[in-house]
Structure 1
Amino acid sequence: MKLMKNVQGWTEGVEVDHQALNQIRNIAGLPIVAGHVAIMPDVHLGKGATVGSVIPTRGAIIPAAVGVDIGCGMCAVRTDLKAADLPDHLAGVRSAIESLVPVGFSAHEKEVNPTHEAAHGRVLKQRMDVLYTRFEQLSILTVLGALDARKIWKQIGTLGGGNHFIELCLDEVGAVWVMLHSGSRNIGKTIGEAAIGMARDACVKAGVHLPDRDLAWLNEGTPEFHQYVEALQWAQDYAALNRDLMLFRVMRALRASLGREIGSTKEAINCHHNYATVEQHFGAKVWITRKGAVSAREGQLGIIPGSMGAKSYIVRGKGNPLSYCSCSHGAGRRHSRGMAKRLFDLDALAAQTAGVECRKDEGVLDEIPGAYKNIDAVMAAQADLVSVEHTLKQVLCVKG
């Protein structure tokens, strides 16, 4: 569906507010955009660029379009557990998970040693050692100033806050899945904010007029572009390892609370939905920035979560070229956090999360399912982007 000039959208049957439309118009009009902008059905207002957008650029990247939670994404695995294997009351399981995975502003007391995490610990340790070495070589460190490097390695394998979560879900045949959502923690935020500042300064220096200063970009070939891309790729890898480390800790918590060994199937997915990478589309190599969007190449598995009380989906991409082989990253917010707190109360939260073992207090009221778009409408709007492999319903949710 053509939303406006130079914009292709998958929004039939879902709301798109006028502020988001203005943002989309601003993005589509930038001289560095290399083709149409693709808009996913979960689209909503973001910082500079709309969440739920796929932006092709040539010779430049917009750091604010990638965002400050670089590499934020999803991880999911199907276990060999069935619904009948779970206890009737899951409070103990939630407590076990929360005791092993720090949430919110919390971090591990010591720097993480992945060899202690699982049978795959040696592989995880190798990945972390590579990350550690690459971090010390990042040229952007000269811009970031004083950093507590120990904090970076204490935060890996932690959830964070906001809309990040860990869930146990049941699929259509009662199989138990572990699913989680997190990103690159504070170091990704630090890199993102520094790059946004660098881009603003570069555009001011070049005399570039911007409709929104958060749409400032860095030009390929400049030292600032190199610094950002190097750090961007590092942060994306940090985010992926962060999710894998949490996954193994959740499995460890399940083993401890259920008193049995737990295996996983080959159906495991780890995908970003806030990132940028070079891809080939319409015969040209371009930078593709997915801000709240998931790669959905033909046959590729992805994850589209709902909210705390709604369904989620494991999907397989159809490789639709018009979407730059992408799909939505979730349901997408219908109301801002402030508006959600004004519209809903704790009774509504309890009702909308009935049957889910989770927090039901003021601290998560802004994450109430009613603050999000209808996931069924979002999925219907992108039927030509993905097919559904599994439908998941959460029975336990840990929020930051």
Structure 2
Amino acid sequence: MAAATVAPGPALDSAAQEKAPGPLKTPLPSPTPDSRPKERAVLTEEQQHKYGLLLAQVKAWAEVPSTKGKAGPLTDSEKFWLTKECLLRYLRATKWHEKEAEKRLLETLTWRREYGVEELTADHISPENETGKQITLGYDKEGRVCHYLNPGRQNTDPSARQVQHLVYMVERVIDMMPAGQERLALLINFKSNKSRSNTAPGIGLAREVLHILQHHYPERLGRALIINMPWIVTGFFKLITPFIDPLTREKLKFNEDMSQYVPAEQMWSEFSSGKLAFEYDHGVYWPALHQLCGERRDARWQRWTAGGRQLGESEDYLAGATEVGVAGPPTIEAKAEEKADVAAPAAAPVVAPASAPAAEADAEEGTTAEVTAETAPAAQNGAPSN
């Protein structure tokens, strides 16, 4: 895996930082002991059949299409992305129409290549998050990663990089998800600041974000908790409501007591019932987030390799919740081959925040377009970078 051009930072121990005096400045690595995902629903015989049909079709793909010169066979990182749960998310999103799910999956793979999802780096995105307008911190009572959007901390003008920022952070949230949980909890605080009272984006930018989230991250939003809605944002939501899937609209909760959903000890004290003292320090938080996410990606990649690099692998196996993947226990020959031929991917670099904005790249819910999401460019057949 190619290395990002970044300044190295000190190794950061999230557990040690949690115990340090003063407010927390790094992500929380795990949910509370009582916060557990709900059991996954058992597939019906018909659903299992449709999953089998979709998996067979995906395994038969000759290439990922592209009109921008990026067509070609599936890379290892794309096979790694195509987990059993990924295929099931697209089946649920298309109401179990396997042909439509296959079409949507191919569209997403094409988009990921052409948008450059795996090539978005921490250095490029860093200027967007210098004020902490997006923060991944803690877990809700069902083990969902809590992702905070703080439009009042907006520090840049609308641009392609603002949308890239959201995509990039969604990918980091996915890195942080525990075994058994596929969805995130979005906590949005529209509290304004002195420099920006209007944080609503243009309709065009909002529609682009909603399209990306609904079409390329289906079944990822578990709940959105929204507070301090000013009248202008209320009007904005009314404008974009026709573009939001009805099932997504049901997950939006406005001005409710958030302690119903998030343990107080893991909820940021900026939210009414939160007891977690947290201070956003970009120089501490940004490298800590990427170190933690990189370690988890590497661990999953190594388990995927040990399991035989299966397309349709179990996300619970990749997360370490089960000992055996979909291919079953490895044979003695496979273990020997793994030791001889498979090198562990390079550790994700610790990233120091950029001191000046990087050059702009071409171009359920961000500034307010960030209302719902370091990587070095991924080697075509190496460990995924996000």
Q: Same fold (TM over 0.5)?
A: no
Q: RCO higher in 1 or 2 (8 Å CA, sep ≥ 6)?
A: 2
TM-score by structure 2 length?
0.26
- Greater strand share, 1 or 2? 1
